[in-house]
Amino acid sequence: MPKEGIKERLRKLPNKPGVYIMYNSFKQILYVGKAKSLKRRVAYYFRNSAINSKLHPKIVAMVGQIEYFDFYVVKSESEALLLESQLIKKYKPKYNTSLKDDKNYLLVQLNPEEDLPKFKLTRHRILKSSRYYGPFPHARALRKTLDVMKQKFGILLNDAKPKKIGPDTWKLYDDARAEISNLPNEVTQKEYRIRLANACEFLEGETEQIIKDLKSKMYAHAQNKNYEKAGFLRDQINAINESSVRTRKFERNLIGLISAKESLLTLKNALNLKSNPKHIECFDVSHISGSFCVAAMVCFKEGKPKRNQYRRYKIRSFIGNDDYKAIEEVIYRRYKRICDDAESFPDLIIIDGGKGQVNAALKAFIKLKINPNELIGLSKKNETIIFSDARRNLSLSLRDPALRLLQYLRDEAHAFANNFNADLRSQKIRESVLDDFKGIGEVKKNLLLCHFGSLSKLRKATIHDIIEIKGIGPILAMRLIEFLQNH
């Protein structure tokens, strides 16, 4: 039967998709798994011995070592599959075998520098000049979706060989492969770029209208008892639904279709600013079940990321889960620093969140007695722009370059914050091995880590290096070295 701590943890499990992590008494990761329902899947490991006897012997051996488990809730099975893969590759748990081959899921690559960009499949992000969509866990569904895109939008896939037939006219497919329904096979570069923009919007999740059209045709074929064609359309609909699951939010630089300058101009007009927002900063908060709460700020200049000016923040004012307090703290720290250093303020400040997060940021500015140039929030629900003054919320078209630039900033901040959160969790897992060494308490452990900088450097230290720490003598240092050699 499960230990008391595990029993309590099992009661908290939600009936939602996610990823679970099993730890032993040394805080080492034994196993990472995915689940359609965390509650059912994780509880299965801790049923009575009669049921457990049906498990694989390897799993039975693992269950006997489990001291604790953690879990992450995600939005879909696809996200669970991807997160599971990433964690297994990162930590290489002892009892995981199936995903240690470093397999990467499919991406859709688009190179805007080509005359007529093609949609290609790849497993690696190699070219910095290219745009990548994905990853997509379901390869078969993705290939079917690309075929639908070719027919609906008249775009090129990787195997196409377009021919230039005039100064600015191209023939996309030869006569035998002119499979573009209701669209000309001969186009100018400008006309093709319009098709490309529509296809990219579809690939980013705007699938509703096409699915509606396909369903209408499917029902018509079914009523006429043309079941083969109806079944073909049903498979296309299923493929699109599988592929359009938002497994990751992507950078959006409009794949070269609209310049950064034009994007800034549309953003200026949308927000009714006095001039183009050449300097923009965006904030996001990240935490896992209230722990490892961090924040991140990304900086864009002239509509492009300035990654050397990104900043990461550990939340200091509280422990737990409070996005509002976290936003208030990080805004205060960021702009107090700017005031103290007499640096220039951004033209636009974006908060990832709704009215509550924007109000929290305003509280920080009030404390600082600063009036920001422009402060807005970008709410994930319906991608709504929230103003910090009395103006009504603003909803832009999903095609609007202004919204896409805001999404680019928001998604960049989100990824940067999540990566920082993951780094801290990984560091904590590595350093927690010292908790099992008898002879040093929290104070000495922190002194060791502060002195050497990391556990990996401590492992390389000699006795003479270690006894420099106040309160640690030669015998304790020797015991510590022996302990680290075995853990």
Q: What is the DSSP string of 185-201?
A: SEE-HHHHHHHHHHHHH
Tell me, rounded to whole angstroms, the distance of Cα 29 from its chain centroid. Answer: 22
Would 426 be classed as within a structural domain? no
Q: Cα dist. 283→309, 337, 382 in Å?
A: 13, 16, 19
CA 47, 51, 53, 58 dihedral sign is negative
Phi, psi (degrees; rounded to nearest 5) at 346: -65, 155
- CATH number for the domain including 78? 3.40.1440.10
- Residues 226 and 295 both lie in one domain: no
- The pLDDT score that the predictor gives to residue 269 is 92
Q: In the 3-class helix/strand/coil scheme, how is 59-110 assigned residue by residue?
A: HHHHHCCCCEEEEEECCCHHHHHHHHHHHHHHHCCCCCCCCCCCCCCEEEEE
Domain boundary among 31, 65, 91: 91
Taking the chain, what is the end-to-end CA distance rounded to the nearest angstrom? Answer: 28
**Is residue 248 one of the residues assigned to a domain?**
no
Tally the C-alpha atoms within 13 A of residue 246's C-alpha that lie toward its C-beta: 11
**Domain shared by 141 and 38, yes or no:** no
Q: What distance in Å separates the CA atoms of residue 324 and residue 358, rounded to the nearest whole number? A: 9
- Looking at the structure, do residues 350 and 393 belong to the same domain, yes or no? yes
pLDDT value of position 474: 81
Q: Are residues 219 and 135 in the same domain?
A: yes
Residues 276 and 393 in one domain: yes
Verify that 76 and 17 share a domain, yes or no.
yes
268 and 339 belong to one structural domain = yes
Determine the Cα–Cα distance for residues 119 and 196; give it in Å rounded to an integer. 9
The tokens of 482 are what?
Answer: 């022996």
The pLDDT value recorded for residue 329 is 94
Residues forming beta bridges with residue 121, ordered by sequence position: 108
Residue 428 lies in a domain: no
| Segments forming the whole domain that contains residue 85 | 4-91
- Single out the residue of 17, 9, 13, 23 nearest to residue 73, CA to CA: 17
CA distances from 360 to 299, 317, 322 (A): 20, 14, 11
Residue 123 and residue 262 share a domain: no
What six digits make up the tokens of 11?
């009661």
List per-block mean pLDDT (blocks of 10 residues) for the chain, which spans 487 residues.
65 87 83 89 74 65 84 76 75 69 68 84 75 73 81 83 85 65 80 82 63 74 75 69 48 44 88 93 75 81 88 79 88 94 93 93 94 92 88 86 88 78 52 67 74 75 84 84 76
Assign residue 480 the CATH number of its domain.
1.10.150.20
Predicted pLDDT of residue 386: 95
End-of-domain residue from the set 385, 418, 451: 418
The per-residue pLDDT for 349 is 97
What is d(CA 116, CA 162) in angstroms, rounded to the nearest whole number?
A: 8
Whether residue 406 is contained in a domain is answered as: yes
Write down which residue in 386, 418, 450 finishes a domain. 418
How far apart CA 415 and CA 394 sit, in angstroms, is 25
Q: Same domain for 459 and 383? A: no
Total of domains in the chain: 4
Token pair belonging to 173: 């497919």
Omega before 167 cis (within 30°)? no
Same domain (yes/no): 347, 389: yes
Burial 307-341 (b: 16+ CB within 10 A, else e): eeebbbbebeeeeeebbbbbbbbbbbbbbeebeee
Cross-strand partners of 164 = 170
pTM: 0.42
Supply the pLDDT for residue 251.
37
